[in-house]
Amino acid sequence: MIKTIILILIFYSSLFAGENITNAELLETLRLKYYSAVENEDSVSIFEEHLNTLSKEYGESNIITAYEGALFAVKSKHAFWPFSKLTYLKDSMRLLDKAVTNSPENLEIRFIRFSILHYVPDFLGWNEEKNADKDMIVSLLLDGSYDNIPSELVLGITNFLIESERLSHEKINLLNTNILLTLEK
């Protein structure tokens, strides 16, 4: 399922209205490096260097902040010691919360945080954020707030939500009716 998340983010290149980064190729490269870092611990430093370069070049951006949060989540995933894992996770959530606060209706930022929190055990907290992201993503999808997003990505996000088993049957039916059936034609 993590590969599905990453593949969705890799191709998710047209949602950055209002963000400082406008070059879709740079964003796609960032996503590829993120995917590689999720899968391979040796790629974390390459992802971090690329992210630092973009941050210096483009300054503060909500999407950069979200990927900085994603970087700490990847470090948490690959860390050996539980204390290190938790510290990285807290740093990740601090940055992702900032990005979500500044861009609450940015589907990619919400999806990054949701996809990370999906794998965080409930006893660690962040259930409220996970549910808020899930609800906002569903709302954005049902409202059609994905005009600039390729249909394959909308399908991927929708399928991930359904496969996450975090949606009610009613929401699954709404997504099936309004998104999947419409876009699969």
Over residues 80-111, the pLDDT tens digits come to 999 999 999 999 999 999 999 999 998 889 99
Question: Model confidence over 129-150: pLDDT tens digits?
Answer: 999 999 999 999 999 877 666 6
Q: Which helix (H) or strand (E) holds 25?
A: helix 24-39
Lowest mean pLDDT among 33-42, 94-103, 120-129, 142-151: 142-151
Please name the residues in contact with 28: beta carbons below 8 A apart, sequence gap of 6 or more: 10, 11, 13
CATH number of 2-183: 1.25.40
Share of the chain above pLDDT 70, in %: 83
Least confident of 11-20, 24-33, 103-112, 152-161: 11-20
CA–CA distance, 127 with 121 (Å, rounded to integer): 9
Of the candidates 68, 64, 70, 69, the one whose C-alpha atom is nearest the C-alpha of residue 20 is 64
